[in-house]
Amino acid sequence: MADEDVIRAQIPGIFYRRPDPESEPFVQEGQTVEPGTVVGLVEVMKQFHEVTSEIAGTIAAFEVENEGMVSPGDVVARLTT
Amino acid sequence: MTAATAPFEKVLIANRGEIAIRVIRACRDLGISPVAVYSEADRDALHVALADEAIEIGPAHATKSYLVPEHIVSAAVEAGAQAVHPGYGFLSEDSRLPEACDAAGLTFVGPPAGVMAAVGDKVLARAAATAAGVPVAPGSDGRLGSEEDAQAIAGEIGFPVMLKASAGGGGRGIRVVQDPDELAAAYRGASAEAQAAFGDGGLFLEKLLVQARHIEVQVLADRHGTVVHLGERDCSTQRRKQKLIEEAPAPGLDPGIRELLCTGAAEFARGVGYVGAGTCEFLVDADGNAAFLEMNARIQVEHGVTELVTGIDLVAEQLRIAAGLPLAFAQEDVVLRGAAIEFRINAEDPDQHFMPSPGPITGWHAPDGPGVRVDTGFETGRVVQPFYDSLVAKLLVHGRDREQALARARRALAEFQVEGITTTLGLHRRLLDWNRLVRGEVDTEALETDLQAVTA
């Protein structure tokens, strides 16, 4: 079995998988990511902050739906590495 | 004033936080029953507790609650309110709200929808400013036709220039262009951004005033043709175009420029048929060049400094004007007394790139005493939500002169304690040792330049 690793939210707010409502998601499940790949945005107090992967891997699943609430440390996505 | 002579029986306040509470207080002073609205996240907010009744208008995210005109209007109808006060932000400058109010037979506390839309269009506002004899920056007459058009005008007036979206707002569709080589790319970028944000890619161009102060003039206009100005505010202490400190009067402003801007703002308001409280914003550079920026068709965050130096309750005047009452004073009755300064206390960490810091407030001690006023929506046990603006309190001080106001600010900022979240209180304490602020020599770029030194 492959190791599983995660991407966590650093700040509280609303999680978005797209840069704006009309655009495609930053990444899809099954897609590979590198350290620094943007996988979503967190909106907090009218500011937007990028959520990035710290490791290389493949997105196995998102654990937070688009426009879901996140708290610091929450798992946003699981990776297979 | 008794309830029998109140301008309205009941007013719905389409906002939250400190400004909702500010409007609730003005309602109480006038014998009006205030009605609050709230999102699911704001059930336990202070503005809900302080109103006579409160109506839930949707989910936490503002686009599904505070920003939906239909939700506001149906709440007002349900409560039996006669009028809607929009506060600032949210729908306060969206002409769909006055339109929806008109359609439902409600009074909107602000200008008519058509006037709001006209002053919100920057090209129309620039033309109205010119017609009123208000100084505008050299630039294009109306919309630019093409990149070549922009290049020709910029060549004539000289760089740097600003490209701005005609339908603009919130800093989108704006580009500063330092030299001719950058113009084409900036034109395409600003136009695309404006098209995406406002559905209108139209641009205009103005000469950029550098190292300029932000000076704005408060006006009040009733429905009977009386327009007065209430002097100016200096809001030059900014970070990334966000105001941090505002004061009245503007320290050391040339009396001739003050007169030009104040009478110009009143003329502008008269010319566009303005009704209610509004603010004309200007930039003024070190050489005394002044340029009209825009008119804000609403009450502003920093209105309190004008209230302190004039003794006039701006929010109460908004409600009286909306009810059709004439202004009870003339221009010559407006007398400025002393100096007032406002400090915006935000839930942000100045040491972590101003990272937002929402969460529950576990300890709260607000300052008090002579010359001190705190406008806030918070206290111990309330929660700063991640969904909304980071402003948690406005500390206002008033003194017989600027020196006394600064001394009172020092005392009040030392007393102010907030626990559980990180705020800009510490930054403000350090800013009181910043020479440029103490001397009243701040321009809109100054804090950005000196921030490292101030926060170190």
Tell me the average pLDDT across B363-390.
97
Rounded Cα distance, B353 and B349, in Å: 7
The sheet carrying A68-70 orders its strands as A47-52, A38-44, A13-16, A68-70
Q: How far apart are CA B19 and CA B300, in angstroms?
A: 9
The reported pLDDT for the residue numbered B174 is 86
More confident residue, B455 or B103: B103
Q: What residues 196-215 of chain B have any CB closer than 8 A to a CB of chain A? A: 196
Looking at the complex, report in whole angstroms how far the Cα of residue B238 sits from the nearest Cα belonging to chain A: 17
pLDDT confidence bin for B2, thresholds 50/70/90: very low
Interval B27-67: pLDDT, tens: 999 999 999 999 999 999 999 999 999 999 999 999 999 99
- Alpha carbon distance A73, A11 (integer Å): 8
Q: DSSP label at A1?
A: -
Kindly report the three-state secondary structure assignment for every residue of chain B: CCHHHCCCCEEEECCCHHHHHHHHHHHHHCCCEEEEEECHHHCCCHHHHHCCEEEECCCCCHHHCCCCHHHHHHHHHHHCCCEEECCCCCCCCCCHHHHHHHHCCCEECCCCHHHHHHHHCHHHHHHHHHHCCCCCCCECCCCCCCHHHHHHHHHHHCCCEEEEEEEEECCEEEEEECCHHHHHHHHHHHHHHHHHHHCCCCEEEEECCCCCEEEEEEEEECCCCCEEEEEEEEEEEEECCEEEEEEECCCCCCHHHHHHHHHHHHHHHHHCCCCEEEEEEEEECCCCCEEEEEEECCCCCCHHHHHHHHCCCHHHHHHHHHCCCCCCCCHHHCCCCCEEEEEEEECEEHHHCCEECCEECCEEECCCCCCEEEEECCCCCCEECCCCCCEEEEEEEEECCHHHHHHHHHHHHHHCEEECCCCCHHHHHHHCCCHHHHCCCCCCCHHHHHHHHHHC
Minimal Cα distance from A68: which residue of B? B61
Q: What are the pLDDT digits (tens) for A15-25?
A: 999 988 888 99
pLDDT at A22: 83
- What tokens does B447 get? 């804090």
Q: How far B398 CA sits from the closest chain A CA (Å)? A: 30
Q: What is the pLDDT at residue B196?
A: 81
Q: Are strands A75-80 and B213-221 parallel, antiparallel or unpaired?
A: unpaired
Neighbours of B435 (CB within 10 A): 9
Q: Is the pLDDT confidence value at B124 over 50?
A: yes
Within 8 A by CB and 6+ apart from B137, the residues are B206, B207, B208, B209, B283, B289, B291, B292
Task: Mark yes or no for CB contact B359/A12 under 8 Å.
Answer: yes
Q: What is the DSSP string of A6-69?
A: EEE-SS-EEEESSSSTTSPPS--TT-EE-TT-EEEEEEETTEEEEEE-SS-EEEEEESS-TTEE
**pLDDT, tens only, B147-160:** 999 999 999 999 99
Q: Which amino acid is present at B266?
A: A
The pLDDT, as a whole number, for residue B112 is 97
Chain A residues with CB-CB distance to B347 below 8 A: 45
Q: What is the pLDDT of residue B75?
A: 98
Q: Is a pLDDT exceeding 80 seen at residue B172?
A: no
Report whether pLDDT(A2) > 90.
Answer: no
What's the rounded mean pLDDT across residues B138-146? 90
Q: A12: nearest CA in chain B?
A: B386
Which residues of B are marked as active site? 298
- What pLDDT score does B199 carry? 83
Strand-pairing partners, residue B35, are B12, B53
Q: Is residue B170 very low, low, confident or very high in pLDDT (cuts 50, 70, 90)? A: low
> Pick the residue with more confidence: B141 or B408?
B408
Q: What is the pLDDT of residue B138?
A: 92
Q: Which of A48-57, B28-37, B275-284 has the lowest mean pLDDT?
A: A48-57
Bridge pairing between strands B10-13 and B33-38 = parallel
Question: Within the 316-355 window of chain B, which residues sit less than 8 Å (CB to CB) from chain A?
Answer: 347-348, 355
Is residue B390 within 8 angstroms of chain A, CB to CB? yes
- pLDDT band of residue B377 (cuts 50, 70, 90) is very high
- Judge whether residue B213 has pLDDT over 90: yes
- pLDDT, mean over chain A: 91
Give the gap in angstroms from C-alpha A3 to the nearest C-alpha of chain B: 33
Tell me if chain A has a CB within 8 Å of the CB of B358. Answer: yes
- Compare all CA atoms of chain B with the CA of A13 and give the residue at the minimum distance: B386
**Is the distance from CB of B139 to CB of B122 less than 8 angstroms?**
no
Q: What is the pLDDT of residue A3?
A: 53
Mean pLDDT for chain B overall: 95
pLDDT of residue A23: 87
Full strand arrangement of the beta sheet holding B83-85 = B53-56, B33-38, B10-13, B83-85, B107-108
Q: Which of B305, B214, B219, B292 is nearest to B253 (CA)?
A: B214
pLDDT at B1 over 50: no
β-partners of residue B293 are: none
Q: How confident is the model at residue A74 (pLDDT cuts 50, 70, 90)?
A: very high
Distance from C-alpha of B81 to C-alpha of B83, rounded to nearest angstrom: 6
Q: What per-residue confidence (pLDDT) applies to B3?
A: 44
Q: Is 60 exceeded by the pLDDT of residue B449?
A: yes
CB contact under 8 A, B389 and A46: yes
Length of chain B: 456
Model pLDDT, residue B166: 86
What proportion of chain B, given as a percentage, has pLDDT over 90?
Answer: 89
B192 touches chain A (CB under 8 A): no
Q: Give the pLDDT confidence score for residue B241 in this predicted structure.
A: 84
Q: Quote the Cα angle for B23-B26-B32, to 5°.
A: 100
pLDDT for B456 beyond 80: no
Confidence check: pLDDT of B226 > 70: yes
The one-letter code for the residue type at B382 is R
